[in-house]
Amino acid sequence: MKRIVTFVFSLVIVAGLQAQESDVQHRLPSIDLTTIYGEPFNTSAIENDGNPVIISFWALWCKPCIKELNTIAEVYDEWVEETGVTLYAVSVDDSRSSAKVGPTANGNGWEFEILLDKNQEFKKAMNVNMIPHTFLLDGKGNIVWQHTSFSEGSELELIEKVRKVASGEKPDNTH
């Protein structure tokens, strides 16, 4: 049985790698999330009128995540004005704390979009291993850059990439 699975997957991988050579873009999977009010929200609805989008995976129990979002919150107005960017902060809190996500975000004065991924389906589909994990999408919805973890000053790298994407350039992935 294992041999069959391994074989079939090797086929898929080879085929996939061939496909990768063509100009296929890395796009968001379609996953059902909810808003902080429980309203269904499919990730295919993540868009920003042709402007860049940041998707940040976080949780209330994750200290660097809170630090990252607090840091961005301080400059978010300026970022939006300058680049037109929108941030979706996707919480992977489970039912222990998912009900606290909305009130905490609001209480902290965060103005970005908050979504709930209560059973980590979106997190898994995006291959997010550790949080915080941040993705940058260009105006067409292609994932053009990603980054994991946060330390003081990492937000400067992020906004640099956003500026590039907003002006139609590709972000440099080598450093």
Smallest gap from residue 146 Cβ to other proteins (A): 5
List the interface residues with other proteins, window 50-69 (CB under 8 A).
60-61, 63, 66
**Which listed range, 6-14, 46-54, 83-91, 162-170, lies at the site for other proteins (CB under 8 A)?**
6-14
Q: Which parts of 22-62 fold into alpha helices (H)?
A: none
Question: How many whole angstroms separate alpha carbon 93 and alpha carbon 119?
Answer: 8
Which secondary-structure segment (H or E) carries 71?
Answer: helix 63-83
Among 49, 81, 153, 168, binds other proteins (CB under 8 A): 153
List the interface residues with other proteins, window 95-134 (CB under 8 A).
95-97, 99-100, 102-109, 111, 118-121, 124-125, 127-130, 133
Which secondary-structure segment (H or E) carries 137?
Answer: strand 133-137
1 binds other proteins (CB under 8 A): yes
Question: How many whole angstroms separate alpha carbon 65 and alpha carbon 149?
Answer: 8
4 binds other proteins (CB under 8 A): yes
DSSP state of 27: B
